[in-house]
Structure 1
Amino acid sequence: MVDGKRRVSPPDGGWGWVIVGCCFMVTVCTRAVTRCISIFFVEFQAHFGADYSATAWIHSLVDCTTMLCAPVGSLVGNRWSCRVAVMFGGLLSSCGLLLSSFTTSLELLYFSLGVLTGLGFALCYTPAIAMVGCYFQRRKALAYGIAMSGSGIGTFVLAPAVQLLIELYSWRGALLILSAFVANLCVCGSLLRPITLLEEEEEEGEEKHGEDERCFISCFLSSKEYRFLLLPDFLGLAVSFLFLASGCSLPFVYLVPYALSAGVGHQNAAFLMSILGVIDIMGNITFGWLTDRRCLKPYRLACYVFSVGMEGLCCLFMPLLRSFPLLVPFAILYGYFDGAYVALIPVVTSDVVGAPYLSSALGVVYFLHAIPYLVSPPIGGWLVDVTGSYTATFFLSGAALLASALILSTVAGIRHCCRRRHPTTVAMETKHEPFPLSPSDQSNCFMAFNKEAVGQAVAS
């Protein structure tokens, strides 16, 4: 017993599979519903007399708000509980969709569907994903693979269903039914049974010194919850996520227009997206299962870097693919590795910061996705307008993805060299502690490594 709380290890099963099922439904109700909003665009244009660019801001606002407010979801989950965060988020997003079905202007849709629904999704998404990491350790990658596959499976099922609802009940009726469907987030939230994971107590003096050292972050943020922000490992991970988010969304936006410009028929162009979505699901689950195997488990970060790098290479070769038979392999490869890295984002983040800090860390991680998600599609479209082709857009996507993989590889390489120069770190890591060194110790380690490298360069 520690402070009246019982030490609990991740059960790797039992109620944990209920948590995985709940997280699966959360990704269906948030990410899949967000993808399906684009189906309403033609209806919005016809009803409000708006052009495509004005209507497209709705989708961008939902996506951006969901990621931008991800730290709010983490904060609510940490201060109260993940159950409260998901239930309140479900209520908020359902109300946003309900109000959208009665809206009378596009500007009101920006608020109700873009901001209000996006904020509700943000309150649900991060806490639900963090709960999976609390219940699983040995089979964490598989659990996350199943949970995150809800986005692909949900899109595959919801897209035709939403189109049918629009045809039967108009866009207002479809939004009303979606509001009732999203209300199931409240049910999912009620099933998120809290679990307390306690690590070994740190020495009181070291904890106080660490708090003093990190007090500059913000008086609003708890230094205990956000101590990982000073870790060099996490900082490198954060920078790589910025580049990742800048490149990963462009192929989803421009694959169909590019295929049409290459002479592929409308039906086959749409079929490419279906292939990508189905293979994405396979990547979620199979890559999660593979990286839980004993032989690959120590190399999960390397598997993540490999997935992102392969996506980048696929984009660089995209301009050479000018027919449907050649674009099918692209859809298969890109879809598989997209599903692979999406499933590994929470796993890699958890390996860096540890399960107790996962909710806060994921909030920051998804927050970093917000602005790139908002601006990269318009930048890609501007490049198409300026150059008259999609080559520059796909080169931008590929370069950003490769830069993300390169940055993370560099950070991992520096960390490996740093560990070799500090053997005590390796010994401590064998105890599976998420922070083998304190933030200040890691910073000193990196400074020592850099100083030694500079000294060797001068001597040579």
Structure 2
Amino acid sequence: MDSPVKAHRARTAAAAPDGGYAWFILLSCFLVFGLTFGVIKAFGVFYVAIHQYFETTATGTSWITSIAVATVHVVAPVASALSARYSHRSVVIMGGLICSIGVILGAFARNLIELYLTVGFLNGFGYALTWTPTVTMLGLYFEKRRPVANALASAGECILTFVLTPLFQLLIDSYSWRGALLILGGLQLNLCVCGMLLRPLKATRDVTCDKAEEEDLCLELLPKDDSKESKPTHLEAEELGISEASDQGMVKACHEEVPKSTIKVQDSNNRIKRAGHRTKILRYVDYTLITNGRFMVYSMFGLFAALGFFAPALFLVPYARSKGIEEYQAAALMSISAVLDLFGRVFFGWVANLRLVQTVQQLAATVILLATVLLLCPLASTFSELAAFSAAYGLVFGATVAVHITVLAEVVGVHRLGSALGFFMLIRSSGGLLGPPIAGFFIDKMSDYGTGFLMAGVALLVSAMFLLLLHQMNLRAQGSTTKQHMHTDPTGQNSQEVKELDMTRGEENDFCSNR
């Protein structure tokens, strides 16, 4: 049986309209995806210029992107809590301002450390404050069309990667990488506009519920015995007070009972206060998710997948340049990948919406295919071969990203998606932080950018193992649910009898307590 808090949140989140203003939420999420992860994927163009300007190693330059990615993941729970405390709109607007300030300050960096702090940390902090609340709002506004909505929103990453990659190369050639960062900082102010579009659902009252509802939830969180005992103890206290005014002899007779009743009242009040604090904490951060086995297994998938998700996009342009491909042709590879990425997200999001197979099975298949493509990348050396690799990589990557948030919602339920997304990103943060530097370490040792793709492919194969484990856990959970239904009358008469028996016992306990 679900807890009262879960049931309360489920009721408030059940009003997803799947249309109307939901399409403006989708537009906002589309742009947020593009101006956050789209910029991260297109940053490979800056990578070459910064690497040459500071004359550093591949590992040193890759830390800029890895710090930004890790900060997005680490700050995600904070973004979820701030959204619940204040509003999704205000948090996203603040995040957009932080992104813009971070990138503009990065344009004046004098060394790599300052780039780590500005373009890395500050920019990633702003990304977390914009991306997490927007994706959560999208999940609240869509229910039946959620897979398609997630796929269309994430397509913003592909389209803006396609546009920004050659644009960044043009800006770097015209104004140097510093001037290009200044223009990027102004462009990211559009994240504030995306935040203004986030209008909260009228039926959603998770944050604005009144004080009476909080007290009801607190009482429901108490154990049944304690909640039942609280009424008799109050009655006893009142009766003892009346007796004290009317008959002093009765006070002496009941003198020994007063401390006991007072202790019971204080104990019940303390339990109510603890339950109230627990209710408020769960509203902002649902820490009970760490006890959910399926969620933790899926988080381990995210950790290893993050090791391989971000390295290929960062090293594709440098890898092509190392093979003798000219600048704009190398940048065009990212655009080719972005076009096929867009097609993969929309098409496979539509396939997931058909429910032909379980989404976790579809995700496992695409992750294995993505790993295979990355392992074959070092075989490509000419532009045509690299273009074919970019197309294959973009298609399978899009198919993977299209459903991974949908799987998370199925694992924990949409009413816990905000907190789950925050914890999932937090656990995945170490993979996003270490992925590019580990790939850069192998590149420096082997003097070959192809080894970075090999590392990413192996990491994705390991992540697929956790998806297969999650699928087995889902099958076991379905089997146990089926057995429970077999032992229960389909008409629900058995459960009704149990409820009536509990009510009868409760009335007997109340009667005995009053006596």
Per the normalisation by structure 2, the TM-score is 0.71
For 1:316 and 1:274, how far apart are their aligned partners in 2? 21
Structure 1 residue 409 and structure 2 residue 415: aligned?
no
Structure 1 residue 226 and structure 2 residue 287: aligned?
yes
Query: Which residue is equivalent to 2:297?
Result: 236
Q: 1:330 aligns with which of 364, 389, 413?
A: 389
Q: CA deviation at 1:11?
A: 0.6
Q: CA deviation at 1:263?
A: 7.1
For 1:84 and 1:335, how far apart are their aligned partners in 2? 34
Q: CA deviation at 1:349?
A: 0.7
Amino acid at match of 1:188: C
| RMSD value, Cα | 3.5
Structure 1 residue 300 and structure 2 residue 333: aligned?
no
Q: CA deviation at 1:52?
A: 5.1
1:44-55 map, 5 Å = 44=50, 53-55=59-61
Structure 1 residue 283 and structure 2 residue 371: aligned?
no
Query: Which residue is equivalent to 1:127?
Result: 133
User: For each residue in 1:226-260, what CA deviation from the matched residue of structure 2 results, as whole angstroms up to 9, or x when unmatched?
Assistant: 32221111111011111211223333344455556
Q: 1:220 to 1:379 in 2, by over 3 A?
A: farther
Q: 1:157 to 1:426 in 2, by over 3 A?
A: farther
Q: 1:221 to 1:120 in 2, by over 3 A?
A: farther
Structure 1 residue 145 and structure 2 residue 151: aligned?
yes
User: For each residue in 1:53-85, what CA deviation from the matched residue of structure 2 results, as whole angstroms up to 9, or x when unmatched?
Assistant: 444332222222222212221121122221121
Query: Which residue is equivalent to 2:165?
Result: 159
Q: 1:405 to 1:208 in 2, by over 3 A?
A: farther
Per the normalisation by structure 1, the TM-score is 0.79
Q: Return 5+ residue gaps in structure 2 as ranges.
A: 1-7, 207-212, 224-270, 487-515
Q: CA deviation at 1:158?
A: 1.6
Q: CA deviation at 1:37?
A: 3.7
Structure 1 residue 251 and structure 2 residue 257: aligned?
no
For 2:415 and 2:323, how far apart are their aligned partners in 1? 49
Larger Rg: 2
Q: 1:350 aligns with which of 409, 414, 419?
A: 409
Q: CA deviation at 1:393?
A: 4.5
For 1:365 and 1:103, how far apart are their aligned partners in 2? 32
Query: Which residue is equivalent to 2:71?
Result: 65
Structure 1 residue 18 and structure 2 residue 79: aligned?
no
For 1:56 and 1:388, how far apart are their aligned partners in 2? 15
Q: Return 5+ residue gaps in structure 1 as ranges.
A: 428-460
Q: Helix, strand or coil: the match of 1:149?
A: helix
Q: 1:279 to 1:103 in 2, by over 3 A?
A: same
Amino acid at match of 1:352: V
Q: Helix, strand or coil: the match of 1:399?
A: helix
For 1:371 and 1:185, how far apart are their aligned partners in 2? 26
Q: 1:371 aligns with which of 418, 425, 430?
A: 430
Deviates further, 330-339 or 159-168: 159-168
Q: 1:364 to 1:372 in 2, by over 3 A?
A: same
For 2:324 and 2:49, how far apart are their aligned partners in 1? 27
Q: 1:415 to 1:250 in 2, by over 3 A?
A: same
Structure 1 residue 118 and structure 2 residue 109: aligned?
no
Is the 8 Å Cα contact of residues 59 and 436 (structure 2) preserved in structure 1?
no
Query: Which residue is equivalent to 2:480?
Result: 421
Is the 8 Å Cα contact of residues 65 and 122 (structure 1) preserved in structure 2?
yes
Q: CA deviation at 1:48?
A: 5.4
Is the 8 Å Cα contact of residues 59 and 437 (structure 2) preserved in structure 1?
no
For 1:103 and 1:388, how far apart are their aligned partners in 2? 28
User: For each residue in 1:174-223, what CA deviation from the matched residue of structure 2 results, as whole angstroms up to 9, or x when unmatched?
Assistant: 33322222111111111101124589x999888457xx9xx9xx999934
Is the 8 Å Cα contact of residues 12 and 139 (structure 1) preserved in structure 2?
yes
Q: 1:6 to 1:46 in 2, by over 3 A?
A: closer
Is the 8 Å Cα contact of residues 10 and 197 (structure 1) preserved in structure 2?
no
Q: Helix, strand or coil: the match of 2:167?
A: helix
Amino acid at match of 2:298: L
Is the 8 Å Cα contact of residues 44 and 318 (structure 2) preserved in structure 1?
no
Q: CA deviation at 1:143?
A: 0.8
For 1:44 and 1:327, how far apart are their aligned partners in 2? 23
User: For each residue in 1:369-424, what CA deviation from the matched residue of structure 2 results, as whole angstroms up to 9, or x when unmatched?
Assistant: 32222222232233345456667644433332122222211222133134213426
Is the 8 Å Cα contact of residues 371 and 456 (structure 2) preserved in structure 1?
yes
Q: 1:10 to 1:36 in 2, by over 3 A?
A: same
Q: CA deviation at 1:357?
A: 1.4
Q: Helix, strand or coil: the match of 2:353?
A: coil
Q: 1:359 aligns with which of 407, 418, 430?
A: 418
Query: Which residue is equivalent to 1:442?
Result: none
Is the 8 Å Cα contact of residues 67 and 367 (structure 1) preserved in structure 2?
yes
For 1:16 and 1:413, how far apart are their aligned partners in 2? 35
Is the 8 Å Cα contact of residues 419 and 425 (structure 1) preserved in structure 2?
no
Q: CA deviation at 1:116?
A: 1.4
Q: 1:159 to 1:352 in 2, by over 3 A?
A: same
For 2:378 and 2:107, how far apart are their aligned partners in 1? 41
Deviates further, 48-57 or 86-95: 48-57
For 1:75 and 1:323, how far apart are their aligned partners in 2? 49
Q: Helix, strand or coil: the match of 2:440?
A: helix
Query: Which residue is equivalent to 2:334?
Result: 273
For 1:53 and 1:129, how far apart are their aligned partners in 2? 31
Deviates further, 118-127 or 253-262: 253-262
Query: Which residue is equivalent to 2:194?
Result: 188
Q: 1:422 to 1:28 in 2, by over 3 A?
A: closer
For 1:267 and 1:188, how far apart are their aligned partners in 2? 31
For 1:313 and 1:395, how far apart are their aligned partners in 2? 10
Tell me the percent identity.
Answer: 36
User: For each residue in 1:316-364, what CA deviation from the matched residue of structure 2 results, as whole angstroms up to 9, or x when unmatched?
Assistant: 3445555555544433222112112112121111111112211211112
For 1:65 and 1:309, how far apart are their aligned partners in 2? 27
Amino acid at match of 1:19: I
